[in-house]
Amino acid sequence: MTVTEYGKALSVTETPIPGLVVFDLPVHGDARGWFKENWQREKMTGLGLPDFGPVQNNISFNDAVGTTRGIHAEPWDKWVSVATGRIFGAWVDLREGPTFGAVYTTELDPSKAIFVPRGVGNSYQTLAPDTAYTYLVNDHWSPTAEYSFLNLADETAAIDWPIPLEQVQISEKDKNHPRLADVTPIGPKRILVTGANGQLGRALRDQFGDADHIEYATRENLDLTSPDLATARRWRDYGTIINAAAYTAVDTAETPTGRRDAWAANVTAVTALARIATDNGITLVHISSDYVFDGTSDTPYTETDPIAPLGVYGQTKAAGDAIVATVPRHYIIRTSWVIGDGHNFVRTMATLAERGINPTVVADQTGRPTFTTTIAAGIQHLLDTRAPHGTYNITGTGQPTTWYDIARAVYQHTGHDPARITPVTTDQYYANAAGPVAPRPAHSTLNLTKLETTGFTTPNWHESLKLYLTRERT
């Protein structure tokens, strides 16, 4: 390395391949030799590098000029640099998408490094003897991982190797890699949706679809309370877990058995998922509830208001929130009065109306109903836009209402007389309950300002209700 390469400022250069970025590294030297910080997490993430969490450091030593290796695309990220010598590096995007086949080349010496995202093919040719090529990776090698390879001589990529390939050392395996037309692209990291048969799980199926990288899990094929959960999947292949599994029987949670089951599903299982997400760099999406609040606020609850759950269900959800908040990449979705494809208040009221029943409905709890389609769309928006991690309220918009007024709206929209419904207080409604009754927050309206700053506005709950009832009748 020449003296002119000493003292460069730490800086970043973007490339035509998304996520592939080159770093100039400060190198300090004198007559004794030189020193550099080859990887410095705080400084490099401060310049926009993903906090990719390396777990292994590898070094490939090359004796001769012209040693050529690649093109290999692994399902993990790499931080590539040179300890001694110099290389010509070539990178080809082998990920699914519009930049598949894009090529970038540059030379690396000890004063430069490059971040190679998952699925980008990596290759190099040594330009100096005794070159030590080093790379950090954020996963351990696995024979079950999905790899892709490209032939070094591929005519479409048309890499302009400094030393012709017929004059250099190449392994037989590298010589026999496929041309670009025959390469299997590396798909995006997997998305796992738990609780896939629940009301929200069904909406998430509709929202995210059936792409190969989307996996829907139920209690039957993935036990979140199993002690073997950490080895149930190759978790490094996953980029996101959307945990739509939960215990939601708020009254039964007040019983001894219900309390045990609620803590198992809403806390123990969430703790296991949080550990998996933290250890594997996964984004964890966790569904929370208005029940984490005591309902005494006169204004809509924000994401930062202190929690004060009244009952067992709310306590388990609050505990789950606190655990998920420790995951580096997380979204806690607080919602209320959820209505979707399954047993719910709106469907019950519509059935009662058709059967000629005149119900009594609670009129002293205030909030906004939230349809599962709204929650699913909001989750996808946060993920797609890479909104800042944290807690977000997602409910329908519109004026806060009561269960009594929602019931009246259901009767009206289904062609029945809303006057058939009688308003009662919560205490009156549950006065003759056969079992324990969980305390409900009297005020459950959630503030939506933070969500709206990300560019997502939820639909008015009145319109969502009309659409829901229309679909129910068809």
Is the Cβ–Cβ distance between 71 and 90 less than 8 Å? Answer: yes
**What does the alpha-carbon distance between residue 75 and residue 251 come to, in Å, rounded to a whole number?**
45
**Residues in CB range of 287: below 8 A, 6 or more apart:** 200, 243, 244, 246, 333, 335, 375
- Between helix 372-385 and helix 199-208 the angle, nearest 10°, is 50
SS3 376: helix
- R_g of the chain computed on alpha carbons: 28
**Residues in CB range of 97: below 8 A, 6 or more apart:** 185
Backbone φ and ψ of 148, nearest 5°: -135, 150
**What does the alpha-carbon distance between residue 62 and residue 417 come to, in Å, rounded to a whole number?**
84
**What does the alpha-carbon distance between residue 308 and residue 292 come to, in Å, rounded to a whole number?**
6
**What does the alpha-carbon distance between residue 111 and residue 466 come to, in Å, rounded to a whole number?**
63
- Between helix 461-473 and helix 345-354 the angle, nearest 10°, is 50
- Between helix 312-324 and helix 256-263 the angle, nearest 10°, is 10
Burial 15-44 (b: 16+ CB within 10 A, else e): bebebbbbbebbbebeeeeeebebbeeeeb
What's the sign of the alpha-carbon dihedral 398, 403, 407, 408? negative
**Residues in CB range of 210: below 8 A, 6 or more apart:** none
Q: Supply 406's token pair.
A: 């929602």
Is the Cβ–Cβ distance between 72 and 91 less than 8 Å? Answer: no
User: Which active-site residues does the annotation give?
Assistant: 72, 135
**What does the alpha-carbon distance between residue 243 and residue 246 come to, in Å, rounded to a whole number?**
8
**Residues in CB range of 428: below 8 A, 6 or more apart:** 360
Cα–Cα distances (Å) from 328 to 56, 117, 190, 275, 321, in that order, read 20, 19, 18, 11, 13
Burial 57-73 (b: 16+ CB within 10 A, else e): eeeeebeebbbbbbbbb
